[in-house]
Amino acid sequence: MIDGRRRRYLLATLILALLLFNAPLAIVADGLGEGGYLPLYLFLGWTLVILLACLVMQWRAKS
Amino acid sequence: MFSPWFIVAAAAAYLGLLFVIASYGDRRAHEGRQLIDNPLVYTLSMAVYCTSWTFYGSVGLASEAGIAFLPTYLGPTLAALLFPFVLHKILRIAKTYSITSVADFLAARYGKSTALGGIATAVAMIAGIPYIALQLKALSASANVMLGLGDGEGILPFGIDSGFVIAIVMAVFAILFGTRHIDATETHQGMVLAIAFESIVKLTTFIAVGIFVTFFLYDGFDSIIQATRAAGHGDLLLMPEGWNYFDWFLMILLAGSVVFVLPRQFQVAVIENVDERHIRTATWAFPTYLLLINIFVIPIALAGRLGGIENGDLIVLFLPLEAAAPWLALVVFIGGLSAATAMIIVSTVALSTMISNDVVMPVLLRVEALQLTRRRHLSRLVITIRRASILLLLVLAYIFFQAVGAGYGLVGIGLIAFAAVAQLVPALVLGIFWRDANLVGALAGLTAGIAVWGVTLIVPALAKTGVIDPAILVDGFLGSPLLRPEALFGLDGLQPVSHALFWSITVNLLLLVGGSLLFQQDNLQRLQALLFVNIFEREGTTRIWRGDTRVAELHELLLRFIGREQAEHVLATDAYRRGHRLAMEERADAEFVQLVERHVARAIGAASARAMVASVVRGEVIGPDDILEILDEASQVIEYSHQLEERSRALEQAGAELKQINERLRQLDRMKDDFLATVSHELRTPLTSIRSFSEILIDNPDLELEERKEFLGIVVRESERLTRLINNVLDLSKIESGSMDWHVRDVDLVAVIDEAMAATRGLASELGATLERGAVPDQPALVRGDHDRLVQVAVNLLGNAFKFVPAKGGIARIGVTRDGADWVVGVEDNGPGVSLQYRDAIFEKFHQASESLKDRPKGTGLGLTICQQIVSHFGGRIWVEDAPLGGACFRFRLPALPAAQTRAAAE
């Protein structure tokens, strides 16, 4: 259904998402400033992952 | 506030609208226009994932534990990134083998096992009933609030419980949606369309209330957050108290994995899918939906907390009510109704199919006394079983809701259900990627997994409600502290669901893998494993039936299970595929048996369908030979694949060579053009001179004799130059076209070089250069060749040498030596030599013409090419190297004649 390149990019996005949503990056976000930025961080990370997934799946190769 | 009748009328109108949408979808599907054949509709139908749990429960949880609700949506986001890998494969398998549910999928994968299908159905029911109860609870609570009955138990007139009424309404609604037609095999296109519509409704209503709370009750996100911090609830914005990141990770894992096995998700994502390409959009659009519906969860929850609303699950409803926005409250109520009805309809349809196909029908078909295999029409029975199952499920859910539900929040019930259904994940995922996963492993893993789930989640629940002795939580099973239900083997400090998930999935996986490694698969299991794991390689080659039966008998089977119309459709499909219609008395081949089995499977599941088909196919055996045949086919495919790869590589190589040749041809073409330009130039120059001097001579009869002589000399020299050029072109042309008249005989190369020296001595004197005779043998250097042509080669090489020798002190030397079996003639000079990069190119035709036309040496550019052609013609080779004299040394070698002949010639 999707070519090898897209598969690789999608797996890379998955790995990025796993890193973004879990420790240790989430711990860093949890401790930022006076605290309370974890929800914002998670929603921004979530948006980024969706944008990347959309890019990978919908971008049309020139060929 | 609205009157209760208005609320009831609004809800009824909404449900009516859903029904109209579903009917419209069904009608259009019947007309051949599939409205659900759209990736966005597919994605929206997948949003059935968001139920009352999301609509009411997430806010409730967020008001108590902040972001603890998020893993439930981050998990599916990660899972969605695996859709092209996992869901695509499941989908292809399900479509190829007419799978009807997740239990059917597992049963079919593990040797069409009715036992596994039954257990998987039981697990799905254990998980599904609390989950449906959760919806009833949310619906009941929200309806009670809207009807002014408070948020406790809602007692309607005549003492009827509102929850019971809702359960019955939902049952009727689900029956109407999911089992409208007598045809048990129909897809539910109308239902899917209605579910997609409901997804839009719940999203927009939730966002509406989110905007209202965030921007009308407060001044934006920041305003709510500041107010929360000021009220001392800042901890809601941090990692929830009592959670650690392992909990967090496990909850993401749990939510992500169940997306593939939740009965309702399997129903919409796999069973109701009409085009697998829709997965591509769902991969990003489904997470987008989840993101959008969650954006306002935290603001709403914080606002509810700040507003002092105690019942967290109903914050989303109470906030607009308390803000005197009854219309918005009604919209929220309809949104919640959407979320709950969508889940209830799809879940009950999926579970009723599982109950019918994987539990009831296999049992009934085995009861000989019922003689079901002989009954003419079974499709009505199938539908009746499904309708009864839906009713039963809702009654059981209602009982659960009454007995247990009141003590748990919406999310609490949902997570317990998730952990139960997650037990299906290992068997499903390993089943499609690992060929050795077998039935023993799957049964052991699933049973043990659900048992551990019961021990770690249900036992504590029962202990806490006093149903069993609470001491077990402290003392553990058998009085062992290692067997404490909430801290098995001392694993303490995790959330109850994380703890249960960790142990149940670990045990499940260990037993599945261990059982698969320790026990052998039977033939049917091996076959099914092969077909499932290699689905993309093996499509269309599933000839697994062998036996003897007539088309009429299989047709009879179709009539009984799928009705006349569908049976006719199957025959027509087969006729289209094979190009003619099978006669009823004909012997059915493997493909037809397979086709019938697939269609019967759509009505009663894979395991029962196999049993039914086996009952009419006499002597059906799937032996090791069949398996080996299929394996052979697989091996052949692999072999072909390797061959194709090799051919592909060879073609690539040939392509590269062709490209190289093409480049060479282009280069030659350019050289030809240059040649034409050169020849024209070369011809024109002497012709111009001849013409000019001839005209001078004609026009000036009084010219001095000396001048006349000089001019005539020029005319003669230019004529000679012209002749030489034309001769060279003609020679080359003759050689290349094969029309050269060769006079082949034994030739003495010593004589050849002497003759060449004689011919060029005049030129040497003219240039003031020295012509030397190098080493020569003291016997004839005999070769086979054309004497005159070889002299021409030697003269050419000497002439060439004289072109480059210095004006003063120029030396050219020619000699012949023996080298092994060849004679080698060498012509060297003390000119500038030939640099390495041109040593091959100078033998090409008009090479000098391809260089700059200015400063080129005197000559036609054909001499060396002609030399090479002549030498090659007699089996020799010509090349250039550095000369001992410091310039270039042209050498050519020719095969020497045998010694006897040489001696004879010498004598």
One-letter-per-residue 3-state SS of B194-234? HHHHHHHHHHHHHHHHHHHHHHHHCCCHHHHHHHHHHCCCH
CATH number of the domain residue B270 falls in: 1.20.1730.10
Q: Is the domain of B113 the same as that of B252?
A: yes
How far is residue A49's CA from residue B287's CA, in Å, rounded to a whole number?
9
Mutate to test the interface with B, among A28, A44, A46, A54 (most CBs of B within 10 A): A46
How far is residue B63's CA from residue B311's CA, in Å, rounded to a whole number?
10
Of B285-294, B449-458, B525-534, minimum mean pLDDT range: B525-534
Using the predicted structure, report yes or no on whether residue A33 has a pLDDT greater than 50. yes
Among residues B733, B762, B777, the one where a domain terminates is B733
Specify the pLDDT at position B853. 37
Q: List the structure tokens of B629.
A: 């045949």
Average pLDDT, chain B: 85
**Contact yes or no for B78 and A58 at CB 8 A:** no
Using the predicted structure, report yes or no on whether residue B75 has a pLDDT greater than 70. yes
Which domain range does residue A27 map to?
4-58
Specify the pLDDT at position B686. 77
Q: Specify if B583 maps to a domain.
A: yes
Q: Specify if A28 maps to a domain.
A: yes
- In A, which residues are within 8 Å of B74 by CB distance? 21, 42, 46
- In B, which residues are within 8 Å of A11 by CB distance? 81
CB B712 within 8 Å of CB B680: no
The string of DSSP letters for B798-865 reads HHHHHHHS-SSS-EEEEEEEEETTEEEEEEEESS----GGGTTGGGSTTHHHHS-STTPPSS-S-HHH
The band of B693, judged by pLDDT with boundaries at 50, 70 and 90, is confident
**Contact yes or no for B283 and A10 at CB 8 A:** yes
The predicted complex's ipTM stands at 0.96
Specify the pLDDT at position B589. 81
Specify the pLDDT at position A54. 95
Highest mean pLDDT: which range of B196-210, B345-359, B548-562? B196-210
Of B78-92, B529-543, B561-575, minimum mean pLDDT range: B529-543
Q: Is the domain of B366 the same as that of B469?
A: no
Cα maximum dimension of chain A: 50
**Contact yes or no for A36 and B238 at CB 8 A:** yes
Smallest Cβ–Cβ distance between B283 and the set A17, A43, A53 belongs to A53
Using the predicted structure, report yes or no on whether residue B612 has a pLDDT greater than 90. no
Mean pLDDT, residues B368-384 taken together = 74
Q: Is the domain of B91 the same as that of B222?
A: yes
Smallest Cβ–Cβ distance between B245 and the set A2, A27, A57 belongs to A27
Q: Is the domain of B760 the same as that of B884?
A: yes
- Name the residue with higher pLDDT: B365 or A8: A8
Mean pLDDT, residues B760-775 taken together = 89
Q: Is the domain of B153 the same as that of B213?
A: yes
Q: Is the domain of B217 the same as that of B109?
A: yes
DSSP designation for B588: P
Q: Are strands B770-773 and B811-819 parallel, antiparallel or unpaired?
A: parallel
Q: Specify if A10 maps to a domain.
A: yes
Using the predicted structure, report yes or no on whether residue B856 has a pLDDT greater than 60. no
Q: List the structure tokens of B293.
A: 């519906």
Among residues B715, B733, B751, the one where a domain terminates is B733
Smallest Cβ–Cβ distance between A57 and the set B74, B229, B284 belongs to B284
Specify the pLDDT at position B99. 86
**Contact yes or no for A57 and B283 at CB 8 A:** yes
CA distance B556 to chain A (A): 38
Identify the helix (H) or strand (E) that includes residue B561.
helix B551-578
What are B647-661's pLDDT values in tens digits? 888 999 999 999 999
Specify the pLDDT at position A63. 43
- Name the residue with higher pLDDT: B601 or B203: B203
Using the predicted structure, report yes or no on whether residue B855 has a pLDDT greater than 50. no
Q: Is the domain of B133 the same as that of B246?
A: yes
Q: Is the domain of B870 the same as that of B800?
A: yes
Among residues B460, B487, B519, the one where a domain terminates is B519
Place of tokens 């099978």: B582
**Contact yes or no for A36 and B84 at CB 8 A:** no
Using the predicted structure, report yes or no on whether residue B633 has a pLDDT greater than 70. no
Q: Is the domain of B410 the same as that of B444?
A: no
Of A12-26, B512-526, B632-646, B754-768, minimum mean pLDDT range: B632-646
- Whether the pTM exceeds 0.80: the reply is no
CA distance A1 to chain B (A): 7
Using the predicted structure, report yes or no on whether residue B906 has a pLDDT greater than 60. no
A33 part of contact set with chain B, CB < 8 Å: no
**Contact yes or no for B78 and A21 at CB 8 A:** yes
Q: How many domains does chain B have?
A: 5
Q: Specify if B413 maps to a domain.
A: yes
Specify the pLDDT at position B577. 79
Mean pLDDT, residues B371-384 taken together = 75
Specify the pLDDT at position B474. 87
DSSP designation for B456: I
Q: Specify if A35 maps to a domain.
A: yes
Q: Is the domain of B792 the same as that of B722?
A: no
Q: Specify if B556 maps to a domain.
A: yes
Using the predicted structure, report yes or no on whether residue B541 has a pLDDT greater than 70. no
Q: Specify if B899 maps to a domain.
A: yes
- In A, which residues are within 8 Å of B276 by CB distance? 1
Q: Specify if A40 maps to a domain.
A: yes
CA–chain centroid gap for B565, Å, is: 37
CB B613 within 8 Å of CB B561: no
Identity of the amino acid at B464 = K
Which domain range does residue B707 map to?
626-733
Q: How many domains does chain A have?
A: 1
User: What percentage of chain B carries pLDDT values higher than 70?
Assistant: 90
A35 part of contact set with chain B, CB < 8 Å: yes
Q: Is the domain of B200 the same as that of B263?
A: yes
Find the chain B residues whose C-beta atoms sit closer than 8 A to any C-beta of A: 66-67, 70, 74, 77-78, 80-82, 84-85, 88, 225, 229, 234, 237-239, 245, 248-249, 252, 276-277, 279-281, 283-284, 287-288, 291, 295, 298
Chain A to chain B, count of Cβ pairs less than 8 Å apart? 90
Q: Is the domain of B764 the same as that of B859?
A: yes
Q: What is the CA radius of gyration of chain A?
A: 15
Q: Specify if A50 maps to a domain.
A: yes
Mean pLDDT, residues B361-368 taken together = 81
Q: Specify if B527 maps to a domain.
A: no
CATH number of the domain residue B650 falls in: 1.10.287.130
Specify the pLDDT at position B120. 94
